[in-house]
Amino acid sequence: MTDLVPGSESDTCSSTPMQRVAGRLEHVLPPGWRVEVVDLPARGEVAAQPVLRVHMPEN
C-alpha cells in the first residue's frame, strides 16, 4: 500500500498516473475525505492493477 497523496501536492510532484488521479480526486472531495492508491494484488493475482480507495470521515 502506498502513502496518501496530499491534496496540496501538485500533479507534477506525483510519481504515477494513479497517484496524480488520487490527488485530483481528493482535491475536489469534501473536507475530511481521503483517497489512497492500493497496490495489493486481489486473491493471488500476480499482475493485479492498483485501485483507488476513498475514505469518508467518521463523523
Distance (Å, rounded) from C-alpha 30 to C-alpha 38?
A: 21
| Whether the Cβ atoms of residue 56 and residue 35 lie closer than 8 Å to each other | no
Query: For residue 5, with 0-12 CB atoms within 10 Å meaning exposed, 13-18 middle and 19 or more buried, which class applies?
Result: buried
H/E run at residue 53? strand 51-55
Instruction: For 11-52, write each residue's pLDDT tens digit.
Output: 445 478 999 999 999 999 999 999 999 887 667 767 778 889
Whether pTM > 0.75 for this model: the answer is no
CA 14 distance to own-chain centroid? 11
| Whether the Cβ atoms of residue 14 and residue 20 lie closer than 8 Å to each other | yes
Instruction: For 2-22, write each residue's pLDDT tens digit.
Output: 455 444 444 445 478 999 999
